[in-house]
Amino acid sequence: MGTAQTVDGRPSSDLTARARIRDAAIECFARDGFEASFRSIATRVDVSPGLITHHFGSKATLRAECDAEVLRQYRLVKADAITRPSAHLLEALAAPGLSGTLLVYILRAIHAGGQPAREFLDHLMADVRGVMADAVASGLVRPSRDEEARLRHLTYQTMGALLVEFVTSPGLTPDEFVAALHAGTRESVLPTLELFSEGLLTSTDMLDDYLTYRGRHPADEAPPGETERAARPT
């Protein structure tokens, strides 16, 4: 019999009871959604529902700790992609780089919508912000005229594409979903690298015209993040 593992591969025996409950909750939320009960989480980690209540008090508190742990692990994966870009890519082609549990948890957290989803995305972008800054500083990524807008665009683009795959693949377990994504990876790697490395347009004419327009009409340009905040319901 193998040793039970946590969502990031550590032996579960290395964790405190609170951490084992948190990791079991991450797995249940990824598999069943955030409607998963304390009872189902307790069954998975072999404790009583009362112990979960003792440690966390409410599902909102439990989910907040799950969010923080998932984001921490996601940040480590993105940091590795910056530190070892080609090696990370080739390894990801050979095997999924992010566990099914973590990826599906992230997608469920965003797909759930509302204020919790907005806060989760804000935290995700806050974590990736430092990774992107390191990528620019290392020379891997070109600087942007508006780093914040680019970060937001890339985050929404990436998560939006994954959400399309997620909502059109019902009934798959987290590991099955990631396996299906991995099977189609080769179709997306080339166009993605072409777009990121060589661009899409054959000239800078449209960019130059836009920058000229923006210079003439500065009032049309809201401060970074202001447009997004204005669009949110109060």
Predicted confidence (pLDDT) per residue in 154-205, tens digit: 999 989 999 999 999 999 999 999 888 888 877 888 898 899 999 999 999 9
Instruction: Please give the C-alpha separations between residue 43 and each of 40, 46, 53, 229, in angstroms, as whole numbers.
Output: 5, 5, 14, 41
Q: Which CATH number fits domain 12-231: 3.40.1160.10, 3.30.565.10, 3.40.50.720, 1.10.357.10?
A: 1.10.357.10
pLDDT category, 3, cuts 50, 70, 90?
very low
User: What whole-number distance in Å separates Cα of residue 179 and Cα of residue 211?
Assistant: 42
Place of tokens 């692990």: 73
- Other CB atoms closer than 10 Å to residue 5's CB: what's the count? 12
User: Closest by alpha carbon to 26, among 16, 41, 14?
Assistant: 41
Provide the whole-model pTM: 0.80
Q: Report which residue type is found at 51.
A: L
Is pLDDT above 80 for 35?
yes
List the domain boundaries for the chain: 12-231
User: Residue 11 phi/psi, 5° resolution?
Assistant: -60, 135
Query: Would you say 121 and 155 are in contact if contact means Cβ atoms under 8 Å apart?
Result: yes
